[in-house]
Chains A and B, each alone.
Chain A
């Protein structure tokens, strides 16, 4: 049984006020799919739960000088958005594979990245989409690139008195194709053994820009910079992609571990195989969009 104060502000200002008032005693809760599971698993209940479910203003997917996604946008909304599917494909891939429909109906994008699990299914996609994370607190609004957002396993730069409000993806990502692969044993209700996200831009057959991100490959979701550097300016070929996969799987890009869900050697194999596969899929998606 959960015994705590449950506060439900109607707007952001109120929410920030409550966070200030209750300080470290308060825990922010949105969809609750991580917070409630944590309470149950650790048998530790926060004294105060501040629910931001009532902040309807933070639920949106807009395209205007870039893509703006409200922090309370659910995974199901992302899954059902034609815009996200067509132009932010990796995010669509990631959001559609979280839990089950029931979970996706309540779980929010903001929550997924605030929880900062190394396995978060939207983290890899956001990393390859160059997302900016907006937070609001007593001192106003600030933003950090998603690459700086995660500071450790289940740790982020978000302060106790701040609320994550928006994820912004720059407009130039429109020219990128992207894809995310969640490697898992079954098709639903699962955490990934490994996640691989790739976005790239093509000039003819030349990869003019590329981003590769890995989840469950390090304490936080990470970009595989060395592999990206290798690919940049090269032609899209099996040889180049396979080499990029090898670099991504090496200790230069990740620190793979054995865990209950998968062994390090196998994770390495999956990176090697799926970096090229996702790059190919991203390129295919560019071609598909052009042909429309």
Chain B
């Protein structure tokens, strides 16, 4: 008998057939009775005072139900640092500032009404460069803070500093050192489904928000706080996911458009939908946080790292969302990617009149790893050590505790680096600088949750009906990552049913227990562990029922047989084999005694036990249902930014072979190797999909993707001009799966949602250097940058 029937198998994603046949109901398809369509008017300036807003013409337009400005709604501050209001009434600080909003009976009328609103502005001096913005003489983006106290600087009061060891001594002890400045820019998450929500109040002012968020309970917290300030204290909020068309980090915060939809719904007493068009998605959705790093490292004669010193400047934009918190994740690679005893990392977030940023796949890790891995290559060169060897010397190992106090349990980094070396034929190809080159980069990421809020828990409920169908009420969300399949595999395995017997309900706060959010590559790990716990409880209930029902059913069967066939000799059965729940097991829909799994009489279908045991009459009927709230024993970061915030960590390495056209600066990727320590591959096909997708997004991050922001304005708000790679641009990719079964993971699995993206861009940059001897330290690595560098080199 194989160990697992379903875990580790490439169970197809049949659960999601509705998506590919167009039946799935996304926010775009969802209509509520009497629903109105909301539209937002954005600022025309990067920084300006609003002198007047004339909404008279918009209001008169037939079909318009309401027009709101900052004057019409309570002046309540929202956001991570409470540095903005829902509609801006005095000053706009970026082009995407929401100035007015309309609800109308059709999207076209709403759009026309928006065009009829006249706003008069008085331009204010603006600042677009974070380095300029830090200077004393720079214009202030905000005059006062959330509490009304005057501000003197554009630097945000955030605690992003990490320090361990003796930096001065470490510098002295280092034989080789290197120093690099690297920078990364804004990139859009590019979800297939654009942002949108429907806000609907009942007659008692309780809110149902149909919303694509992947942090459903986080929404409730933020909206509850907002409600308490707008006279709706104590009202109930229910957040319901429609089918979600991708997240990649976009849906972590409660965005301004969601508060606007709530205000429009309150005012009109109708459900109101706001749905972004693609241009809006590029212009008004907070993208990945840009950053500039100055990184220094030093090592000893043998190439052992002695110190890492890094200062980062983050262009925060005009307001603060999760982008400003990405340094908390940057600290992880900064302090813990490779063994390095002395670390200093400081990140400064600076207000500018640019767009602001939030989360995107990797949450600061891709930026920081680009810095660390660029520095690893320059230091290796300085020390005269092969870059792969240099990484192996400094690799993390199982059992390590890093300077950040991360406890490394399983760690397949060594295997990953070696796999990349072997697959790329590294030793033969590296170091030639003949137009072709190889490069690599590694990664560390949380893979067993991430305790960023007090609870990092995940609750799950399961129940079974008399037909053996299993309902799983998930507290997480399904944004397309494959969870319905993976969780049904886990439930099927743990409970003894089949994946097709398992039905999942995602994303409804009224049904589900609590969850910290489907982010940080945590869902399979958290929900998987919770599911295993819930299944164990439900299984116990079923087996208790089986102990009661099995002898009855078997005896009845024997009697029936005897009646039909008087020759039949009743066997002498040992009912002691099935006398206790502990003696029984369930597998593939069958219940049987553990001691004799193939017992000819003691094998009964699960559904038969349930039919006999569930709905049986007065005082006898039962339900089978169980819940589990899994909240792992991890730590929140302390004031020193130290603590073991995840149960386990993922490692991996990417290797790239490139060919660079020295006349045009074009980079062709000949081969991409993605080696990942995943704990256990729960569903190999799905896992490959995750890694392919992440790696290709990493190629885009490395070579082509860039939101071009000029003087605060997004200049390329379309897929025509935003160069996300297409299906025609795929590159040869080989995935190597390393499975150091992790004890803490469900069946040994670690999270894999984000890791594939993280090391790709630095691996490309390192390969370009190996090919033509120029180091591009500013993403994306465009042909123009390469050509310019090549000309300078000559």
Contact = CB atoms under 8 A, between A and B. Distances in A.
B664 A273 contact: yes
Contacts of B715: 260
Contact of B664 (A100, A189, A270): A270
B721 interface: yes
Nearest to B662: A273
Interface stretch (A53-61, A85-93, A145-153, A180-188): A180-188
Given A260-B715, A261-B721, A187 B787 contact: no
Interface in B670-726: 704, 708, 715-716, 719-721, 723, 725-726
Given A191-B720, A260-B721, A269-B664, A185 B704 contact: yes
Contacts of B719: 189
A262 B783 CA distance: 10
A1 B725 contact: no
Contacts of A11: none
Given A270-B664, A273-B663, A188 B728 contact: yes
Measured as residues with beta carbon below 8 angstroms from the partner, the interface class of chain B is: 10 to 19
A260 B716 CA distance: 8
A188 to B, nearest CB: 4
Nearest to A272: B663
Contact of A186 (B108, B664, B708, B729): B729
Contacts, number: 42
Given A260-B708, A263-B784, A269-B787, A186 B720 contact: no
B569 interface: no
A100 B664 CA distance: 24
Contact of A190 (B108, B663, B720, B783): B720
A6 interface: no
Contacts of A274: 664
Interface in B770-794: 783-784, 787
A266 B721 contact: no
B727 interface: yes
A191 B721 CA distance: 8
A187 B721 CA distance: 13
A183 B783 CA distance: 11
B787 A186 contact: no
A263 B725 CA distance: 21
A191 B726 CA distance: 14
A260 B783 CA distance: 14
Contacts of B725: 186
A187 B723 CA distance: 10
Interface in A264-292: 266, 269-270, 273-274
Contact of B726 (A188, A260, A266, A269): A188
A189 B726 contact: yes
A187 B663 contact: no
A148 to B, nearest CB: 30
Contacts of B664: 183, 269-270, 273-274
Interface string A186-219: 1111110000000000000000000000000000
Contacts of B716: 260
Contacts of B663: 269, 273
Given A260-B715, A266-B783, A273-B664, A187 B726 contact: yes
Interface residues of A, number: 19
Given A188-B728, A189-B726, A266 B787 contact: yes
Contacts of A270: 664
Contacts of A186: 704, 723, 725-726, 728-729
A1 B107 CA distance: 9
Nearest to A276: B663
A15 B783 CA distance: 47
A274 B784 CA distance: 16
Nearest to B780: A185
Contacts of A188: 726-729
Contacts of A1: 108
A263 B704 CA distance: 15
Interface in A59-91: none
Interface in B745-789: 783-784, 787
Interface string A1-23: 10000000000000000000000
Nearest to B716: A260
A19 B663 CA distance: 50
B720 A189 contact: yes
Q: Tell which of A185, A191, A269 has the most Cβ of chain B within 10 Å.
A: A185
Contacts of A191: 720
A269 B791 CA distance: 12
Interface string B356-369: 00000000000000
A189 B728 CA distance: 9
A290 to B, nearest CB: 29
Interface in A210-240: none
Nearest to B112: A43
Contacts of A189: 719-720, 726
A266 B784 contact: yes
A9 to B, nearest CB: 29
Given A269-B664, A269-B787, A187 B729 contact: yes
A114 B476 CA distance: 52
Contacts of B727: 188
Nearest to B106: A1
B283 to A, nearest CB: 14
B552 to A, nearest CB: 63
Nearest to A188: B728
A274 B783 CA distance: 15
Contacts of B720: 189-191
Nearest to B115: A43
B104 to A, nearest CB: 13
A274 B719 CA distance: 26
A260 B664 CA distance: 18
A274 B661 CA distance: 12
A262 B665 CA distance: 13
Contacts of A261: 721
Nearest to A191: B720
B390 to A, nearest CB: 32
Nearest to A1: B108
A266 B108 CA distance: 42
A53 B715 CA distance: 35
Interface of B: 108, 663-664, 704, 708, 715-716, 719-721, 723, 725-729, 783-784, 787
8 contacts: A185-B704, A187-B729, A189-B720, A189-B726, A191-B720, A263-B784, A266-B784, A269-B787
Given A188-B729, A190-B720, 17 more contacts: A1-B108, A100-B728, A185-B723, A186-B704, A186-B725, A186-B728, A188-B726, A188-B727, A190-B723, A191-B720, A260-B715, A260-B721, A263-B784, A269-B663, A269-B664, A269-B787, A273-B664
Nearest first, the 3 A-B pairs at minimum CB distance are A188-B728, A187-B728, A273-B663
